[in-house]
Amino acid sequence: QVQLVESGGGLVQAGGSLRLSCTGSGRSFYRDAMGWFRQAPGKGREFVAAIPWTGYTGYYADSVKGRFAISRDNSESTTLQMSDLKPEDTAVYYCASAIGLKYTREYSDLTRYDYWGQGTQVTVSS
């Protein structure tokens, strides 16, 4: 059974930091891109950050650039370090993996992702 499991969510004050982790199991994720998406109440799921299987760079939504950093810990896991959090960052955060991404625009397209975690809640209080 293929699974992605997120951890590290919680409640934090504005300006604070949180670190989200995601670990895959059930198959090899060596060649997968890994991404983070989020969904706030009443809104659609949106792209946050992604990293290719090589781990050589990261892609970010404009709203989180300079505050969030994605890294590839090993072939099966990824971390999203979130700093200077704002109330508008409040959402359920999902980890996802994708096979065969070739173009930059694909990394932010949630329809290109094959496996998804169950999500972890991040709440930022003002």
CB distance 24 to 81 below 8 Å: no
Q: What is the mean pLDDT of each run of 10 residues along the chain (126 residues)?
A: 95 98 93 96 97 92 98 92 98 96 95 97 97
pLDDT number for residue 55: 85
pLDDT number for residue 32: 93
CB distance 93 to 120 below 8 Å: yes
CB distance 14 to 125 below 8 Å: yes
Angle at 81 between CA 76 and CA 83, to 5 degrees: 170
- Of the CA atoms within 13 Å of residue 23, those in its CB half-sphere come to 3
Give the number of other CB atoms < 10 A from CB of residue 3: 13
Q: Which helix (H) or strand (E) holds 94?
A: strand 91-99
Residues contacting 18, CB < 8 A, separation 6+: 8, 9, 10, 12, 82, 85, 122
